[in-house]
Amino acid sequence: MDFMDLLQKAGGTKSLGSLASGLGLDGDEASELVGAVAPALMRSVQKQTEAAGGISALKNALSSGSHQRYLDNPELMADDATRADGNNILGHLFGSKDVSRNVAAQAAQKTGIDIGLVKKALPLLAGLAMGSISKSSHAGKSLDESLPGLVGSLAGDDGDFGLDDVLGLAKKFF
């Protein structure tokens, strides 16, 4: 399963459409963008779950974060509060703005979508990712055993640009 499958199963296609139209992207461009950023997002979630206390922290974030609202209310994709929440998610997942910037730059290069639009979309996609994981795990209530498998299947390495590549790029700045 990939992130687009999870998003569709969680009922997030209208929210993705809202995100796309708000940025002036068509459906194909939005799908390409999701495909370009999802591996880095999902590998970051996976790394969080592998850390000590990671499953518990993610379960708490999913059950208390109300991320499902992004799937249930597509109009929230245009809300500044959604972007702020997404930026908080990115900060937690990536650890630095440099990593987020590098993910955006790589996605822009891969898709041909303007980097400014990718930077605007990235926090919204992070919110949709958390909402999709939350909804598929019943608001984080069934995560103890299912989350590692779910996240692992979403973070599968297909040879594309991933978190390890992003971290490698980020190290060049320090």
Per-residue pLDDT tens digits for 89-139: 999 889 899 999 999 999 999 999 999 999 999 999 999 998 888 888 764
Q: Is residue 10 a contact partner of residue 135, using CB atoms and an 8 Å limit?
A: yes
Q: For the packed helices 54-64 and 143-154, what is the interaxial angle rounded to 10 degrees? A: 90
| Cα–Cα distance, 18 to 24 (Å, whole number) | 10
Contacts of 30 (CB under 8 A, 6+ apart): 16, 17, 19, 20
Among candidate residues 172, 155, 161, 124, the one with its CA nearest the CA of residue 45? 155
Q: For the packed helices 163-171 and 27-50, what is the interaxial angle rounded to 10 degrees? A: 80
Tens-place pLDDT, residues 36-73: 999 999 888 888 878 787 777 887 887 777 889 999 99
The pTM for the full model equals 0.79
51 — phi, psi (to 5°)? Answer: -75, 160
